[in-house]
């Protein structure tokens, strides 16, 4: 299907120089790495987990009761079920869906040949060249949301771009959701850490978008991890009920450090990830048939020296390629990878690992890429410079995926060969004059000057240039327009809920 | 063919933990990005260049005479020929061949599903953390050859790992070839800058390998650039006569800065690169049918601000993918890309660009990768730390390509699920105990410690760790054994030729 879609689209490659799309419509074909034998064996393992191993749904009698009523086999809190039935349930989820943004020009399509990039999620620390490493706070949070909003290569702002640790945990979600809704008009996520926080997110989305829009569209999603191996705890099942129950989207992500939360082999961990996420998808479809669902994947390798997770390594690169193909066969939108690294600083290690992780994420066809920019320290810290450096590189991936290789007559440039002799140059040819302005991706942060000019400019490395750039971006930030009545209603909702909720710091 | 090869090999994935192969035997399938329409149009353009545009063979009447005698149409120094004839000539070149090393365990197979990594070639400057940026010299040259020899992820030592600028240009090739032959036992290249220098390289190879071995094997290759656009100057045609005339290999590389030496569109430049290299291949097959030939590709994009070449950008990433597929269809071994960057220093820019350039080179199936490690400044400087950092990452690519996804019963780890409860962990399972030692690629230079341990260790960034590592490697260097009679004969050859040649500095 992908190949057919591309074949028909390659004839009309995306016009170069068109304004950046709110999401990537992929023309480049998918990279299918698995042959029939591999597919058959991996899918048989997934089915074996559904039928024989089972997956626990813990501390949530309501979830177990639904599974029992619908015909699953329950033993303790372990759910086993006929594999074909689970696959049939997953087939009820849409292959692609639109997440509507409050600014309709920024709505994104998730699934199919579309790819959406969002920043880092969940880091307790932040780091920048001036302030060093410190706990995240609301001030950093708002700056980072503004930067994600401003950056043309980020299509979605995620949610926990850093943890605002100066706000009580019990109230933090309100400030975070409000910031995404008011400081940006790109699509974003809602909270999931507790059922009431998910509900607050959905209620605020209803204020922002209106009931009618929300009744008929996905306007917000939750992103939640299973408790691998083989455990879907109530945070997941409750988030599914809140989001999917309201017709909204959910991203469910098995976080598997291979060798710890999954067997020490990549193939087994890939199969386990598929099984956990598909079981959650099946549950979501029981809650509401047709609910938007994104199959998450987060497999990391491990250092044998320290037991710490490692990133950008060959095992997760291969698992990205593989799980892309498996997700397409399952007909489910995919989240995977991102610009991941274990480095503590914005050095070459951070960039090598992030690039290999993201290059494989891109080729995997990941439809929703959280952590596409900003990761440091295995996700413990959001880097201001790292966010801007990664995002600059995302522009390259955007062009690779969205334009592929243009073979229009104009691109074949036959007329230019009438003007240029052997050993000559094409710089002044009519074809070059007609096309040079849109021929090349122009990164903002890569320096291609010669060494003398670079030294005259102060020998700034990429990190220093990124620092300059994010500061300049914040100086130029303007809040996107929002109906004042809606903004007031949102603020009132937050104030009311903050009054109701106790201050809790963990 | 590739897919069949993989299908049969995936059943017996390379045993993990086996000693590093002298080259990569790829199991991962190729990434074919072009559909039939794109292939047809690109190949038609290549044929149009053969037949209508033509390619000049300049300042070399002997080359023109051979073309004329064999039936090409000559106009001035421009050669035009029937496209099918050129393709038939190219089909005489081997799809894969072995370059025999003086240590037979290090011989490499070039072509087919095999991939060989070699370091940077041609930089006049070197750079390291202690000594900064300076002209290359023989001392640096020898250190770099030793490092390339020692590094397990480099399979081939190339030739001009930096320019030894303290030796006259007229004699430099002798010292360089001698260093590769005596300080390393990996395969390497010979000189091409002048016909007599190519001949010296071939003559020295005959001393090293013996006439019999050389009569029946490729033991040395030259690597030479066309003078794009559309110009094969006598440096190329003479190098072909010297190397191929003696049954040795030649790598011919159109260096095309898109927009200058080729039209400003990627598709046209890809077609031009194919046409130039295939025309050189056809000439090589006229000189000696069956001569080992590697089709080179070096397409870079351009900064519109400075006109300088840029690297790791979307246009060369796509051209790598595309040219891989075209080379396989032409049945010719391919050289492309490498770890390329325009950065002046070993910063995140250098690593992002190098990783994206190398990731696409890897996926393109490039059979011989010059510049796989050490590039800085668009190839003007060889970085000691950069060489070691890039090479560390090559180990990851080696595993991705060479192991793919193992789906043996052991990899599926079903027994482990009998030991681990939902929410538990696999760390102590029997399957983990049996497999953990070979489960993960262990990079030498990526730090995955937590931030506290990293700070205690001095907060070293990757560049600093690379500096420590290459110094340690040089301390541990031992010269590989070589028959003293051969070493003496080589030294005598170099001494004699140095006496005969004038000192020329340009």
Q: Could you read off the pLDDT of A188-245 as tens digits, one per residue?
A: 999 999 999 999 999 999 999 999 999 999 999 999 999 999 999 999 999 999 999 9
Token output for A26: 């992929």
Distance between CA atoms of A363 and A409, rounded to whole angstroms? 27
Closest CA to A284 of A249, A309, A310, A321: A249
Give me chain B's average pLDDT, please. 95
Give yes or no for B287 touching A (CB within 8 A).
no
Give yes or no for A315 touching B (CB within 8 A).
yes
* Nearest CA distance, A207 vs chain B (angstrom): 38
Q: A266 and B411: CB-CB below 8 Å?
A: yes
Please report which confidence band the pLDDT of residue A388 belongs to, taking 50, 70 and 90 as the band edges. very high
Backbone angles phi, psi at A218, to 5 degrees: -85, 120
Using CA atoms, how far residue B453 sits from A347, B106, B440, in Å, is 17, 39, 22
Number of neighbouring beta carbons within 10 Å of residue A409: 9
Give pLDDT, residue B397: 97
Number of neighbouring beta carbons within 10 Å of residue B17: 9
Whether B16 has a pLDDT exceeding 80, the answer reads no
Distance between CA atoms of A147 and A224, rounded to whole angstroms? 24
- Closest residue in B to A407 (Cα–Cα): B267
Give pLDDT, residue B306: 83
Note the pLDDT tens digit of each residue in A253-285. 999 999 999 999 999 999 999 999 999 999 999
Q: A352 and B354: CB-CB below 8 Å?
A: yes
Whether A174 has a pLDDT exceeding 80, the answer reads yes
Residue with tokens 């789906």, as numbered in its chain: B407
Please report how the helices A384-403 and B348-363 are oriented relative to each other, as an axis angle in degrees rounded to 10. Answer: 30
* Nearest CA distance, B264 vs chain A (angstrom): 6
- Over range B73-101, report the average pLDDT: 98
Give pLDDT, residue B181: 98
Using CA atoms, how far residue B342 sits from A170, B259, B308, B345, B462, in Å, is 48, 17, 9, 9, 19
Give yes or no for B1 touching A (CB within 8 A).
no
Query: In chain B, which among 13-52 make CB contacts under 8 A with chain A?
Result: 28-29, 31-35, 37-38, 41-42, 45, 48-49
Whether A4 has a pLDDT exceeding 70, the answer reads no
Please report which confidence band the pLDDT of residue B20 belongs to, taking 50, 70 and 90 as the band edges. low
- Yes or no: say if B39 and B329 are a contact pair by the CB < 8 Å rule: yes
- Over range A179-185, report the average pLDDT: 98
- Over range A324-331, report the average pLDDT: 98
Number of neighbouring beta carbons within 10 Å of residue B436: 18
Q: What percent of chain B has pLDDT over 70?
A: 96
Give pLDDT, residue A16: 36
3-state secondary structure of B141: helix
Of B55, B348, B423, the CB nearest to A351: B348
Distance between CA atoms of A383 and A466, rounded to whole angstroms? 10
Closest CA to A154 of A143, A145, A164: A145
Tell me the H-state helices in A184-290. 195-209, 211-216, 234-245, 266-287
**Residue B246 CB partners (closer than 8 Å, separation 6+):** B202, B214
Give pLDDT, residue A5: 38
Distance between CA atoms of A146 and A144, rounded to whole angstroms? 5
* CA-based R_g, chain B, Å: 23
Give pLDDT, residue A20: 59
H helix or E strand, kind and range, residue A381: strand A381-383
N- to C-terminal Cα separation, chain A: 48
CA contacts within 13 A on the Cβ side of A274? 33
- Over range B252-264, report the average pLDDT: 96
Number of neighbouring beta carbons within 10 Å of residue B331: 18
* Nearest CA distance, B303 vs chain A (angstrom): 7
Whether A318 has a pLDDT exceeding 70, the answer reads yes
Token output for B361: 């080179």
Q: What HEC string does A58-118 produce?
A: ECCHHHHHHHHHHCCEEECCEEECCHHHHHHHHCCCCCEEEECCCCHHHCEEEECCEEEEC
Of A317, A389, A454, the CB nearest to B348: A389
Q: How many residues does chain B have?
A: 506
Which CATH number does the domain A23-405+435-506 belong to among 3.60.90.10, 3.20.20.480, 3.40.50.300, 3.40.50.80? 3.20.20.480
**Residue A107 CB partners (closer than 8 Å, separation 6+):** A22, A98, A99, A100, A101, A187
Closest CA to B392 of B453, B465, B454: B465
- Yes or no: say if A180 and A159 are a contact pair by the CB < 8 Å rule: yes
* Strand boundaries in B151-265, DSSP class E: 189-190, 221-226, 231-233, 249-257
- Yes or no: say if B112 and B94 are a contact pair by the CB < 8 Å rule: no
Give me chain A's average pLDDT, please. 95
- Yes or no: say if A387 and B348 are a contact pair by the CB < 8 Å rule: no
**Residue A442 CB partners (closer than 8 Å, separation 6+):** B303, B304, B305
Query: In chain B, which among 123-182 make CB contacts under 8 A with chain A?
Result: 133
- Yes or no: say if A21 and A117 are a contact pair by the CB < 8 Å rule: no
Give pLDDT, residue A306: 83
Note the pLDDT tens digit of each residue in A84-132. 999 999 999 999 999 999 999 999 999 999 999 999 999 999 999 999 9
- Closest residue in B to A256 (Cα–Cα): B425
Distance between CA atoms of A12 and A27, rounded to whole angstroms? 10
3-state secondary structure of B262: strand
Question: Is the Cα dihedral A442, A445, A446, A450 positive or negative?
Answer: positive
Q: A38 and B303: CB-CB below 8 Å?
A: no
Distance between CA atoms of B243 and B249, rounded to whole angstroms? 6
Give pLDDT, residue B191: 98
Give pLDDT, residue B388: 98
Q: What percent of chain B has pLDDT over 90?
A: 94
Of A33, A263, A353, the CB nearest to B28: A33
Q: A406 and B38: CB-CB below 8 Å?
A: no
Give contacts of B437 with chain A, Cβ < 8 Å. Answer: 304
- Closest residue in B to A78 (Cα–Cα): B422
N- to C-terminal Cα separation, chain B: 47
Using CA atoms, how far residue B125 sits from A86, A306, B120, B128, B157, in Å, is 61, 38, 12, 10, 18
Q: Which neighbouring-strand residues pair with A126?
A: A134, A382
3-state secondary structure of B152: coil
Question: Is the Cα dihedral A491, A492, A493, A495 positive or negative?
Answer: positive
- Closest residue in B to A29 (Cα–Cα): B33
3-state secondary structure of B496: helix
| Domain residue ranges of chain A, discontinuous segments joined by + | 23-405+435-506
Examine residue B306 and say whether the peptide bond preceding it is cis (omega within 30 degrees of 0): no
Distance between CA atoms of A101 and A186, rounded to whole angstroms? 6
Please report which confidence band the pLDDT of residue A488 belongs to, taking 50, 70 and 90 as the band edges. very high
Burial state string for A392-408 with b = 16 or more CB within 10 A and e = fewer than 16: bbbbbbbbbbbbbbbbe
Q: Which neighbouring-strand residues pair with B133?
A: B127
* Strand boundaries in B153-195, DSSP class E: 189-190
Q: What percent of chain A has pLDDT over 90?
A: 94
Q: How many residues does chain A have?
A: 506
Whether B166 has a pLDDT exceeding 60, the answer reads yes
Note the pLDDT tens digit of each residue in B132-141. 999 999 999 9
Pick the range with the lowest mean pLDDT from A262-266, A433-437, B3-7, B262-266: B3-7
* Nearest CA distance, A479 vs chain B (angstrom): 31
Give pLDDT, residue B304: 81
Tell me the pTM.
0.96
Give contacts of A453 with chain B, Cβ < 8 Å. Answer: 306
Burial state string for A65-98 with b = 16 or more CB within 10 A and e = fewer than 16: ebbeeeebeeeebbbbbebeebbebbebbbeebb
Please report which confidence band the pLDDT of residue A304 belongs to, taking 50, 70 and 90 as the band edges. confident
Distance between CA atoms of B501 and B339, rounded to whole angstroms? 36
Token output for B194: 């002048």
Of B29, B227, B412, the CB nearest to A423: B227
Residue of B24, B49, B348 to mutate when probing chain A, most A C-beta within 10 A:
B348
Give yes or no for A1 touching B (CB within 8 A).
no
- Over range A317-345, report the average pLDDT: 97
Residue with tokens 């009519």, as numbered in its chain: A430
Provide the edge-to-edge strand list for the sheet that holds A132-135: A132-135, A125-128, A381-383, A375-376
Give pLDDT, residue B382: 98
Tell me the H-state helices in A364-419. 384-403, 409-412
Give yes or no for B55 touching A (CB within 8 A).
yes
Q: B267 and A350: CB-CB below 8 Å?
A: no
- Closest residue in A to B360 (Cα–Cα): A359
Distance between CA atoms of A198 and A237, rounded to whole angstroms? 12
Whether B11 has a pLDDT exceeding 90, the answer reads no
């Amino acid at each position: 299907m992908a190949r057919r879609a591309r074949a028909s689209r390659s004839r009309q490659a995306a016009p170069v120089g068109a304004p950046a799309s709110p999401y990537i419509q992929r023309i480049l074909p998918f990279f299918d790495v698995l042959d029939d034998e591999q597919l058959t064996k991996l899918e048989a393992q997934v089915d074996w987990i559904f039928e024989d191993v089972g997956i626990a749904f813990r501390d949530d009698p309501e979830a177990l009761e639904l599974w029992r009523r619908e015909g699953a086999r329950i033993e303790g809190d372990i759910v086993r079920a006929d594999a074909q039935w689970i696959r049939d349930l997953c087939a009820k989820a849409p292959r692609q869906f639109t997440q509507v943004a409050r600014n309709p020009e920024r709505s994104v399509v998730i699934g199919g040949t579309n790819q959406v990039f969002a920043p880092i999620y969940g880091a307790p620390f932040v780091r920048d060249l001036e302030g060093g490493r410190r706990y995240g706070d609301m001030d950093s949070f708002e700056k980072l949301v503004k930067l994600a909003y401003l950056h043309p290569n980020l299509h979605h702002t995620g949610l926990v771009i850093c943890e605002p640790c100066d706000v009580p945990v019990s109230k933090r979600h309100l400030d975070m959701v409000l910031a995404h809704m008011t400081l940006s008009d790109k699509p974003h996520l809602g909270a999931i850490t507790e059922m009431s926080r998910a509900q607050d997110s959905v209620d605020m989305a209803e204020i922002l978008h209106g009931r009618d829009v929300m009744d008929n569209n996905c306007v917000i999603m939750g992103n939640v991890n299973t408790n691998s191996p083989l455990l879907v705890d109530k945070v997941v099942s409750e988030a599914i009920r809140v989001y999917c129950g309201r017709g909204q989207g959910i991203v469910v992500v098995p976080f598997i450090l291979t060798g710890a939360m999954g067997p020490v082999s990549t193939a087994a961990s890939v199969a386990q990830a598929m099984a956990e996420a598909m079981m959650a998808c099946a549950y979501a479809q029981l809650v509401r048939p047709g609910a938007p669902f994104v199959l998450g994947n987060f497999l990391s390798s491990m250092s044998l020296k320290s037991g710490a997770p490692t990133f950008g390594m060959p095992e997760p690169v291969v698992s990205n390629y593989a799980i892309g193909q498996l997700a397409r066969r399952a007909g489910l939108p995919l989240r995977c990878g991102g610009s991941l690294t274990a480095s503590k600083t914005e050095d070459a290690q951070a960039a090598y690992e992030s690039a290999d992780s993201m290059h494989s994420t891109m080729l995997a066809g990941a439809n929703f890429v959280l952590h596409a920019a900003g990761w440091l320290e295995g996700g413990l810290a959001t880097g201001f410079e790292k966010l801007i450096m990664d995002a600059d590189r995302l522009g390259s991936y955007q062009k690779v995926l969205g334009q592929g290789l243009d073979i229009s007559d104009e691109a074949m440039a036959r007329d230019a060969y009438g003007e240029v002799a052997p050993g000559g140059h094409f710089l002044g040819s009519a074809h070059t004059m007609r096309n040079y302005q849109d021929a090349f991706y122009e990164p903002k942060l890569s320096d291609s000057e010669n060494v003398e000019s670079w030294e005259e400019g102060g020998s700034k490395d990429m990190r220093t240039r990124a620092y300059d750039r994010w500061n300049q971006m914040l100086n130029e930030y303007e809040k996107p327009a929002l109906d004042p009545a809606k903004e007031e209603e949102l603020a009132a909702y937050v104030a009311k809920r903050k009054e109701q909720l106790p201050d809790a710091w963990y």
